[in-house]
Amino acid sequence: MNIKILGTGCPNCIRLEKNVIKALKMLEIEASIEKVTEISDILSYGVMSTPALVVNEKVLFYGRVPSSEIIKEYL
């Protein structure tokens, strides 16, 4: 599983990463987490507001920070 956090490093981006890590631990899943910070790369996903969560190249959330429980449901 390949997970990407799209964002420039704002506090919400950091919260999203922590929630993803927590969800992965709850599910006992290992995955690579990549931070995408370049604006052009973020825009290539069609995302207009950050943070965004991309799993296996599919945008799941953008513009908000879902809880680890919600992320867990999508993983």
pLDDT digits (tens, 9 = 90+) for 10-64: 999 999 999 999 999 999 999 999 999 999 999 999 998 999 999 999 999 999 9
- The predicted structure's pLDDT at residue 7: 95
- The predicted structure's pLDDT at residue 28: 96
DSSP 58: E
Query: pTM score, two decimals?
Result: 0.92
CA separation, residue 1 to residues 8, 19, 39, 66 (Å): 22, 16, 23, 19
Residue owning tokens 């599983």: 1
Residue 53 half-sphere exposure toward CB, CA atoms < 13 A: 24
Residue of 13, 47, 52, 71 marked active site: 13
Residue of 8, 9, 10, 38 marked active site: 10
Active site residue 13: yes
Task: Tell which CATH architecture fits domain 2-74.
Answer: 3-Layer(aba) Sandwich (3.40)
Active site residue 10: yes
